[in-house]
Structure 1
Amino acid sequence: MVSYKEILASNALINDSATALRVAVFVGGTSGIGKFTIQALVATGIRVKIYLVGRKSSRERTQAFIEELHTLNPKAEVIWTEAEVALLADVKRVCELIQSNESRVDLLFLTAGYAPFGTRAETAEGHEVVQALEYYSRMLFILRLLPLLSASDAARVISVLGGGMETTHLIDLDDLDLKRPGNFRVYRARPQYIAMNTMTLDKLASENPDIAFIHSSPGAVNTGNVRRGWDANSIVGAVFSGLVEFLTWLIGFSDDESGQRHLFDSTSAAFGGRGMPWTGKAGITTTGKSAGGLFLVNNKCDCTPNAKVVGQLREKGQEKLWDHTQILLGPYL
């Protein structure tokens, strides 16, 4: 475990001369872990431009948050970027906007999503909503912004979901979108989407060794999303959500610690050797190296390569998933 004291010490080194982080894109940064991380980043006092991508419904409260950030650090420029990122056409539009304004992106931080406890619901484009948020949208952001990430001296992509929690159980490689009758359940969807993230990020990391790719498992953090997906009148949903929120408050990370830990993930040289100096144990990728691959990072900021499971997923499903993803995202690339 990387202690919280070590985390704070590393983050305290971040300044305008020491960091190459100048342009960041946060997708899902209007609440939860994305919001906590933005706050921690801005509080460092560095000059940074942040594209904060969020839904129209969160615009009003997010404007107040942006004003707070400007007061905290006048050198930070936070640009509200409205989008329904479950829709791939909207993702394409946002990426084109960023591409037209920037020559590089140093950090792409992806957190949009929630646990799919409810019944299956699809977007107007025909994709299950949570899968669109947690997989297709995230991969489209990466692929569209890859040229800008490649132009950075120390680019990093972080997908916050369940890195290190991959399993070969309950994964259906013949029904990647879980469309078969009875196949969509939270206990199937969550491991499916985690595995899909890891398989594709593992491939992208191997092909883009100059970009640090991280699949993070955040642990217990009260993001406010545990109530999403349930029927508004569900008594079971209300009881379950209340219990989870209580347990999270009891044993989970505070908002501040979660933000600081993810800022460490975003800036420390522990992952790939570039970033804030790190004298502790170097992170290890899914291929057993210290750079040029995917880092699976748990809530304690330790790497958990999960080599056996990831190797099986890589062998049995990676190319199949990649072909499927390319076909589905093709119209938006």
Structure 2
Amino acid sequence: MVTHEQIQTSNAQIVSSLPSGLVAVFVGATRGIGEATLKQFVRHAVAPRVYFLGRDRTNGERVGAELANLNPEGEYHFRSADVSLLANVDEVCREIKCKERVINLLFMSCGTTIMGIDTKESLHYPAAVSFYARIRFIVNLLPELQKATSLRRVVSVLNGTKEGHIDTGDFQFRRLAMMQARGHSASMMTLAFESLALEAPDVSFVHTFPGLVRTKLGQDTNRAAITVLRGVFKVIGPLCTIPVAEAGGRQLFMATSAKFPAREGRDIEETMARGTDGKEGSGVYSVSNDGEGLSAKTEEALRVMREEQDMVRKVWLHVEDEFVRITGCAFVA
């Protein structure tokens, strides 16, 4: 387990271990874990330039003002966007690509508890927000990430270490029960990262599970199950949940620590994490909130999906088919 003290020490070294002027894109950063991680990043980085996205303009303006107070030397650009639509993702990426030649960090924590509806682009809404939009951001911004000379990292906050069976007849998990959908979506993200790492071995990809964090996630739905869970957590939450500020610090560690290097173009570190393929420092990491990686059982399940079921290719072909169907192209150049 990576202790809270070790995380704080690592984060405090950002000022000296990483260069000034880091460029970061935060998707889903006007509340919850995204906001908390963004603020931690701004506290520790030297003169950062940040693009941060959220649906609520009022929240975005509030966060922007708070960032300027935290670190007046930085630049902070808020963009209001509904990222459940890939057309909006592409529009935002075009704007960023016009302004930036290099990106150091792409951090994504956009999420929802809304289920059972489709977007205008015929994607299951929760899958659109938590998976397809995130992968679209990556493929669009990957050239800029690869041009960075120091930190080159993608972080997706979702269900790392919770990987399970993928139902290829229901990629968008419309019909899956909650726990089945969790394992399915976790494996989709991790294996999509493995596919992306084949094209960009000089970028590191980290899929994290934040633990039970005290956020407002779930307030966008009146689903009975979510309402019940909110009630339960009001009672037991103080005993088992992680304060959002602490969660932000943990996510910053995963976003910046040398423990999670890219497979190529990096220095050998003594404490490199074990990648999803079972090899140290292999570039794709599935990490729990304690900083630890996959269990032996989950690692073996991923190996079977990868080597015996050809699931990396199957997932990526599905993703590209959806991208082309919706946007007419595999990525924004």
Q: What's 1:4 paired with?
A: 4
Secondary structure (helix, strand or coil) at the match of 1:24 reads strand
Return the match for 1:326 from 320, 328, 331.
320
CA contact (8 A) 2:210 2:289 kept: yes
Equivalent AA in structure 2 for residue 287 of structure 1? D
The 2-side partners of 1:17 and 1:4 are apart by: 19
Alignment of 1:88-127 (within 5 A): 88-115=86-113, 118=115, 120-127=116-123
Return closer, same or farther for 1:292/1:151 CA change in 2, 3 Å cut-off.
Answer: farther
Match status 1:175 vs 2:170: yes
Which residue in 2 is equivalent to 1:133?
A: 129
Match of 1:286 in 2: 276
In structure 2, the partner of 1:214 is: 206
Retained in 1: the 8 A contact 2:107–2:156? Answer: yes
Determine which of 180, 189, 194 is the counterpart of 1:188.
180
Among 215, 233, 243, the alignment partner of 1:254 is 243
Counterparts of 2:164 and 2:68 in 1: how far apart (Å)?
42
Paired position in structure 2 for 1:39: 39
Match of 1:53, SS state, is strand
Contact kept? 2:161, 2:294, Cα under 8 Å: yes
1:27 aligns with 2:27: yes
Contact kept in structure 1, 2:84 and 2:128, CA below 8 Å:
yes
Counterpart Cα distance in 1 of 2:244 and 2:19: 24
How many Å separate the matches in 2 of 1:18 and 1:178? 39
1:270 pairs with 2:259 = yes
On the 8 A contact 1:271/1:290 being kept in 2, the answer is: no
1:177 to partner: Cα distance: 2.2
Aligned partner of 2:50 in structure 1 is 50
Deviations 1:201-258 (A, max 9, x none): 1111233211010000111112211333334xx5x64332121344333212112211
Alpha-carbon displacement from aligned partner over 1:147-182 (angstroms, at most 9, x marks no partner): 0011012200001111111112xx311221245xxx
Scaled by the length of structure 2, what TM-score is found?
0.89
AA aligned to 1:33 is I
The answer to whether the 8 A contact 1:107-1:157 is kept is: yes
In the aligned structure 1, how far is the partner of 2:233 from the partner of 2:209?
A: 17
User: Considering only aligned residues, what root-mean-square deviation do their CA atoms show, in Å?
Assistant: 2.4
State whether residues 206 and 293 of structure 1, in contact with CA within 8 Å, keep that contact through their aligned partners in structure 2.
no
Structure 1 Cα separation of the partners of residues 152 and 103 of structure 2: 7
1:17, distance to aligned residue in structure 2 (A)? 6.6
The residue type paired with residue 239 of structure 2 is L
| Mapped partners of 1:129, 1:246: distance in 2 | 30
Say yes or no: does 1:63 pair with 2:58. no
Q: Give distance in 1, aligned partners of 2:220 and 2:181.
A: 15
The superposition leaves residues 17-47 of structure 1 with CA deviations (integer Å, 9 ceiling, x where unpaired) of: 7336610000111111111101111112521
Cα-to-partner distance string for 1:86-106 (whole Å, 9 max, x where unaligned):
000000000100100000110
The residue type paired with residue 159 of structure 2 is: G
**Could you say which structure has the greater relative contact order, defined with CA pairs below 8 angstroms and 6 or more residues apart?**
1
| TM-score, L = length of structure 1 | 0.89
> SS where residue 14 of structure 2 aligns?
coil
**Inter-partner Cα distance in structure 2 for 1:248 and 1:194:** 24
Q: Which moved more, 1:64-73 or 1:303-312?
A: 303-312
Match of 1:311 in 2: 303
CA contact (8 A) 1:32 1:223 kept: yes
SS in structure 2 at match of 1:15: helix
Q: Which runs of 5 or more structure 2 residues have no equivalent in the other structure?
A: none
1:94 aligned partner, one-letter code: V
Q: Which runs of 5+ in 1 are unaligned?
A: none
Q: Is the 8 A contact 1:226 1:244 kept in 2?
A: no
Letter in 1 for 2:201: P
Q: Is the 8 A contact 1:115 1:226 kept in 2?
A: yes
3-state SS of the aligned residue for 1:109? strand
- 1:55-96 alpha-carbon deviations (Å, 9 max, x no partner): 1xx111221121111111101211001211000000000010
